[in-house]
Amino acid sequence: MSIIASLIRQNRLLTVILPRADGPLNEQLFMDEVPEASLDVAHAILVTHSLISLHWPGAIGVEDASHYNNFHACHPKQLPQSGFDNILKPLLARNKALPSMNADVAAGHVDGKWDSSCPSDLVRDLVAAKFNIHRSFFNSSGDMCFCESCHKMSGNKTVYSRGIPPSRYAIPIGWVRIGLKVHEGIAESNEIFKKWHISYHGTTANNIEPIFRGGLHLLKPGDVALGGAAIGVRPGHIPQVISRTNRYTGMEELFDINQIFTSPSIRYASHPAYAQQFIVDHPQRPGVLLGMRFVFHCRQRPGSYKIGHETVGARDIKLDPHFDNNELEWYTKESAGVVLFGLCVQLRYISQRTTK
């Protein structure tokens, strides 16, 4: 798997800056020759259906693409026409869709609606039917339904603070949480449930089983996944860090995208750019389609992560009423400092099987 594929295994929105064929290489992220990089990108997009924006200085071919998110041009010699039609065009369409995705997230409704019924039994049935997950991973005492009706009846607030020092998180309203077992020795020796913060990590259906099988560890490029697949790194393929202004700290920083990303906001963690819907048939009602989305509920070690601004181009659109856009992303290289204690699932009725 290429470095790019591994980076976007977490469904991160990346800007891939490919080297100029003719110019200085100071902006480049990848040391590859251009053709290899372009194949990596195309392959990665194809495999993961993820969202990437391309910045390809000096290339030619797409004249009207400047209004798309960070996309300038596609080099016709490097990417076959089929690749452009099948891969880049849908990708550009999705990049173009980002503003409306952001508007949906900000309005609190994404990809379909739900009714007043409690979806928790249905979620449990669907997870059991669609995924091969050993039952010993689950911890029913951590099960909790946060659907609209259950939330109303609970009388809970929407935002709580957890950990030492305390850190805010929003409870997953509209979602059903399936409790996951946390190793008792790890939990007790680190006082995880007393001291650690709470965050969310959005994922897609095809990542669920590998994450469970691998012991509920979130991987980043450079790690070796269970089964021996190296996540990403070959010599010369390590991306350099990106220089950016962190809008949370206000400081210039070298931002390394080779990290694990979480958020205190389930709205942000489940942004459709990161956590795409998994479309299934309703098990009891023929012809009815359901969209499932998945977000892991995490405990995260205070001090192990940094805080930064949203990276979906939302800018002035406030994505979550409980958080500033500039505090929505947590990022860390400390995999062991992220402990997954719940799988949150959202169900929506959807009208059609849209292809993404």
Which residues of this chain interact with Zn ion, rule CB under 5 A? Answer: 55, 57, 72, 118, 120, 145, 147, 150
Nearer to Zn ion, 23 or 80 (CB): 23
**Which residue has its beta carbon closest to Zn ion?**
72
What is the Cα–Cα distance from 232 to 70, expressed in whole angstroms? 24
Query: How buried is residue 184: exposed, middle or buried, by Cβ count under 10 Å (0-12/13-18/19+)?
Result: exposed
Residue of 271, 322, 268, 309 lying closest to 159 (CA atoms): 322
Shortest Cβ 17–Zn ion spacing (Å): 8
SS3 143: coil
SS3 312: coil
Shortest Cβ 56–Zn ion spacing (Å): 6
Contact 282, 289 (CB under 8 A): yes
Shortest Cβ 333–Zn ion spacing (Å): 29
Nearer to Zn ion, 118 or 233 (CB): 118
Nearer to Zn ion, 6 or 53 (CB): 53
Shortest Cβ 167–Zn ion spacing (Å): 26
Q: Which residues, including other chains, have CB under 8 Å from residue 338's CB and lie 6 or more apart?
A: 199, 201, 218, 260, 262, 298, 299, 300, 301, 332
Nearer to Zn ion, 6 or 120 (CB): 120
Contact 80, 42 (CB under 8 A): no
Nearer to Zn ion, 178 or 216 (CB): 178
Shortest Cβ 214–Zn ion spacing (Å): 30
Q: What are phi and psi of 307, to 5 degrees?
A: -115, 140
Nearer to Zn ion, 145 or 344 (CB): 145
Residue of 235, 272, 241, 234 lying closest to 13 (CA atoms): 272
Shortest Cβ 225–Zn ion spacing (Å): 33
